[in-house]
Amino acid sequence: MLRPILKYGAPALHQPAEPVPAITPEIDRLIDDMIETMYAAPGVGLAAPQVGVGLRVFVVDVSVGRDSGSLIVMVNPRFVVREGTQIEEEGCLSVPGFEATVLRPARVVVRGLDRDGSEHEREGTGLLARAFQHEMDHLDGQVFVDRLRGLRRDMIVRKIKKLTRAGKW
Ligand SMILES: [Zn+2]
């Protein structure tokens, strides 16, 4: 089932998510819905707070469904390694229409639970490292706009406020 994606400004996007206590049928359904919603968007990643669920779950697929082996589900993830830096353009399904260059780690290793409850670890470089950090930020109540500084951030926030006032956000 597709779930509506919340936009920047929605309270669920700006507060830290809670750990998942157990993989229940409800969590399993949430994961199914998140995968479906991510592919439909389409996007390379989606975190539970983006669909209004304050739990530490994200899904990532840098192939956007083209390669069946690249779907990654992470429940209660944490960083094991974060190193180097990269600066690339980045966007977010919760901030449609805006992109900005964001400083991210070049390589990360994330450990968490798979959807069957088993522990797994995934390494990411390049786009995957960026996606992991982007989704982890969502679990901590951070949107990429919050990582920007100065004029670029002010401009995006101002435009979003304007769109919100006009009922177009
Ligand atoms: Zn995002």
pLDDT in tens, 128-159: 999 999 999 999 999 999 999 889 999 999 99
Percent helix, percent strand, percent coil in the chain, to nearest 5: 35, 25, 35
The CA 117 to ligand 1 mean position distance, Å, reads: 24
Residue 66 has pLDDT above 90, yes or no: yes
User: From the CA of 118, how far away is ligand 1's center (Å)?
Assistant: 25
Q: What is this structure's pTM?
A: 0.97
Beta carbons within 10 angstroms of residue 113's beta carbon: 19
In angstroms, rounded to a whole number, what is the distance separating the alpha carbons of residues 140 and 134?
A: 10
The label of the residue with tokens 């229940």 reads: 24
Residue 144 per-residue DSSP state: G
- Tell me the pLDDT tens digit for each residue of 5-16: 999 999 999 999
The number of residues in the chain equals: 169
- Clarify whether 121 is annotated catalytic: no
> Stretch 67-80: mean pLDDT, rounded?
96
Which tokens go with 29? 């359904």
Q: What is the CA(77)–ligand 1 centre distance, in A?
A: 16
Nearest to 59 by CA among 45, 69, 42, 40: 45
Catalytically annotated residue among 18, 36, 99, 135: 135
> Could you give the percent of the chain with pLDDT greater than 90?
98
CA of 130 to the centre of ligand 1 (A): 11
Among 112, 143, 113, 127, smallest CA distance to 50 is for 143
Measured in angstroms, how far is the CA atom of residue 25 from the centroid of ligand 1? 25
Please calculate the CA angle 99-94-104 and round it to the nearest 5 degrees: 50
- What gap in Å lies between CA 118 and CA 124, rounded to an integer? 19
- What count of other Cβ atoms lies within 10 Å of the Cβ of residue 43? 20
17: number of Cβ within 10 Å: 20
Query: Are 119 and 110 a contacting pair, CB within 8 Å?
Result: no
**Confidence at 64, pLDDT banded by 50, 70, 90:** very high
Q: Which residues are found with C-beta within 5 Å of the ion, ligand 1?
A: 92
**Residue 68, pLDDT above cutoff 90:** no
What are the C-alpha distances in Å from 150 to residues 21, 39, 92, 147, 157? 39, 33, 19, 10, 11
